[in-house]
Amino acid sequence: MIKATLKSTGAYLPKREVSNTELEHLMDTSDAWIQERSGIQSRRFADLTSETCSSMGAKAAAQAMSAASWNRNAPDLLIFSTLSPDYYFPGAGVLAQRELDLPNIPCLDIRAQCSGFIYGLSVARAYIESGLAQRVLLICSEAQSALMELSTRGRNISVLFGDAAAAVCLEAAPQPQHQPRFGLMDCLIHAEGAFAEELVLKNPGTRNSPICRPEMIETGEMLPYMNGPAVFKHATKRFHEALTSLAQRTNIPPSQWDWFIPHQANQRISMQVAKSLSFPEEKVISNIHHRGNTTSASIPLALHEALTEGRIQPGDLIAMAAFGSGFTWGAALLQY
Ligand code: COA
């Protein structure tokens, strides 16, 4: 049987680090409030005069492709996940394709927000296992500081999120005989649109005509909205469900996972989920303290950093799970 395997990772972080103290000068918030509620101490913000969602994604992808020894003709599918694309349309995938000078391969954009990486893995897996693709480049990039208002009005969102990009190269490989634990072993995804408006950026959207009106800036209609407590409640429940289901489907209990990489939404959510699975805290990979919530980039960024630091070793079993706007959620089990 053909499996999707992780060949390499890459990442790009904007240089500008924004501390909680810096945010204290811009809005009514405090370092103590942010750290206590989320675990975040600082995050990176892109230089929006020169960095874009697609350009950061292309840089992360170039690093991943180089690490995989892939030339420009190697990938036969590009998947791009973001909630903060350069343009309303076309998607950021074709812009990254152009920047990477890739040939005319299909570019598929994914809009599953914080679950984008898991959704992307699931699509890549389907293409690879069906034989439709041999090598898939999956890019996750977020320039979400462009969407946030650094003011007291926008504080419940703007203290949590950061900018970053990460990419993975996935390759088809035959599963060796007598080695059931190999490559991307399972990936499950879900959604529940009933809660679409609990974490949402409605404008510009085609429900409004014209899609942009000057007063929308004044009224805050162009800012993201989040019902924080509702998101927290659903996230902890869905993370737990997805991971339990992953353990059942693969017949590999959490006690046998070497690592758990949660979507970095909030340190409290990650720890609550780990506890609910009796999974040891020290095996939960977290980078939220200095990255914030980087939405779809968060899992591949944490994966890249853990690989670079040598924490994850060849053969390790890595469980991953995400939850986000939609609501969408999912989980995956990968043997590295
Ligand atoms: N600084 C200081 N105070 C803030 C604040 C900020 N940045 N943002 C909100 N507050 C205030 C609120 O206005 C509220 O004040 P009030 O009691 O006077 O009305 C108070 O803090 C509590 O707000 P609440 O939203 O109930 O806080 P909370 O304890 O639920 O924590 C979150 C807020 C957002 C940190 C928390 O709900 C959370 O983590 N939710 C999940 C978010 C998430 O993971 N999103 C990404 C999903 S992918």
Quick one: average pLDDT of 109-118?
Answer: 98
Asked if residue 75 lies in contact with residue 107, where contact means CB atoms within 8 angstroms, the answer is: no
Residue 62, helix vs strand vs coil: helix
Quote the pLDDT of residue 132: 98
* pLDDT one-digit tens code per residue, 288-301: 999 999 999 999 99
What confidence category does residue 312 fall into, taking pLDDT thresholds of 50, 70 and 90? very high
Span from the CA of 296 to the centroid of ligand 1 (angstroms): 21
Residue 168, helix vs strand vs coil: strand
Cα dihedral 191, 193, 197, 200 in deg (nearest 10) = 40
Amino acid identity, position 322: A
Span from the CA of 201 to the centroid of ligand 1 (angstroms): 17
Query: Catalytic residue at 290?
Result: no
Asked if residue 247 lies in contact with residue 253, where contact means CB atoms within 8 angstroms, the answer is: yes
Please state, in angstroms and rounded to a whole number, the distance separating the CA atoms of residues 94 and 103: 11
| Residue minimizing CA distance to atom 43 of ligand 1 | 265
Residue 237 has a CB neighbour count (10 Å cut-off) of 14
Quote the pLDDT of residue 217: 87
Query: Catalytic residue at 263?
Result: yes
Among 28, 156, 323, 328, name the best residue to mutate to test ligand 1's pocket (greatest count of ligand atoms within 8 A of Cβ): 156
* pLDDT one-digit tens code per residue, 69-86: 999 999 999 999 999 999
Quote the pLDDT of residue 294: 98
Contacts of 115 (CB under 8 A, 6+ apart): 189, 263, 296, 322, 323, 324, 326, 328, 329, 330
Quick one: average pLDDT of 118-135?
Answer: 98
Which of the residues 20, 266, 293, 304 is marked catalytic? 293
Quote the pLDDT of residue 52: 98
| Strand stretches in the chain, DSSP E | 2-12, 16-19, 42-45, 77-81, 107-110, 135-142, 164-174, 183-191, 199-200, 225-226, 259-262, 317-324, 328-335
Residue 109 has a CB neighbour count (10 Å cut-off) of 18
Residue 262 has a CB neighbour count (10 Å cut-off) of 28
The residue written with tokens 């703007």 in the block is 158
Mean pLDDT of the chain: 97
Span from the CA of 269 to the centroid of ligand 1 (angstroms): 13
Quote the pLDDT of residue 253: 97
Binding pocket residue ranges, ligand 1, CB within 6 Å:
29, 33, 37-38, 114, 155-156, 159, 226, 228-229, 231-232, 235, 265-266, 269, 293, 323-324
Please state, in angstroms and rounded to a whole number, the distance separating the CA atoms of residues 92 and 265: 23
Q: Decide if pLDDT at 170 tops 90.
A: yes
Query: Which domains are delineated in the chain?
Result: 2-174 (3.40.47.10), 183-335 (3.40.47.10)
What confidence category does residue 212 fall into, taking pLDDT thresholds of 50, 70 and 90? confident
Among 28, 37, 144, name the best residue to mutate to test ligand 1's pocket (greatest count of ligand atoms within 8 A of Cβ): 37
